[in-house]
Structure 1
Amino acid sequence: MPANKKYLTKSPFQKFLKITAGFFGGYFVMISFHQLLGYVFEPKNVVITAAFTGYILWAVLLLLAFLAKSAWKIWLYYLVLTGIFAIPFLLKL
């Protein structure tokens, strides 16, 4: 059964932004989140856990990018989350 056309993104640029937001933006959020966990907890344990949870988190963030109505907003959310998770490394705390 094909998808209903009214729910599909019509602009090729919006499609490109959603794909890149899901792929790259989701990856950046996932990496920065696990680095933050490595800063809070023992890094050895976080690396072992990240081997499994990283793929799950990345897949969920990839899916969320396609569910969003605006690709610009999802890029903004992913960049803000990446910045928040990277604060300890940016400030060298």
Structure 2
Amino acid sequence: MPANPKYLTQSKWQRFAKITAAILGGYFVSVTFHLALASWFNRADILITMAFSGFILWVALMVIAFLAKNGWKIWMVYILLSLIFFLFIYWGNL
């Protein structure tokens, strides 16, 4: 049964934004989140756990990106989250 066209994204730019936000943005948020945890807690344990929890978080962020109405807004959210986690990494390494 095909999808109802009224629910599909019509704009090619929105489709591009959602796909790139899902793949790249979700990956950046997932990695920076785990690196922020690794800078505050036991690095070896967090990085070993990242092999599984990082993938699960990445998939969840992909789903969220495709559920969003605007691909550019989800990009901004993912960039903001990555910058916040970068700050935690910076403070953890001081």
Q: Match for residue 42 of structure 1?
A: 42
Matches within 5 A, 1:54-93: 54-90=54-90, 92-93=93-94
Deviations 1:6-51 (A, max 9, x none): 1110001110110000000000000100001101210000011101
Q: Which one-letter code corresponds to 2:79 in the other structure?
A: L
Q: Match for residue 10 of structure 1?
A: 10
Gaps of 5+ in 1: none
Cα-Cα RMSD: 1.2
State percent identity of aligned pairs.
Answer: 51
> Normalization by structure 2: what TM-score?
0.93
> Normalization by structure 1: what TM-score?
0.94
Q: Distance in 2 between matches of 1:81 and 1:90?
A: 14
Gaps of 5+ in 2: none
Alignment length (residue pairs): 93
Q: Distance in 1 between matches of 2:65 and 2:20?
A: 9
Q: Distance in 1 between matches of 2:17 and 2:38?
A: 30
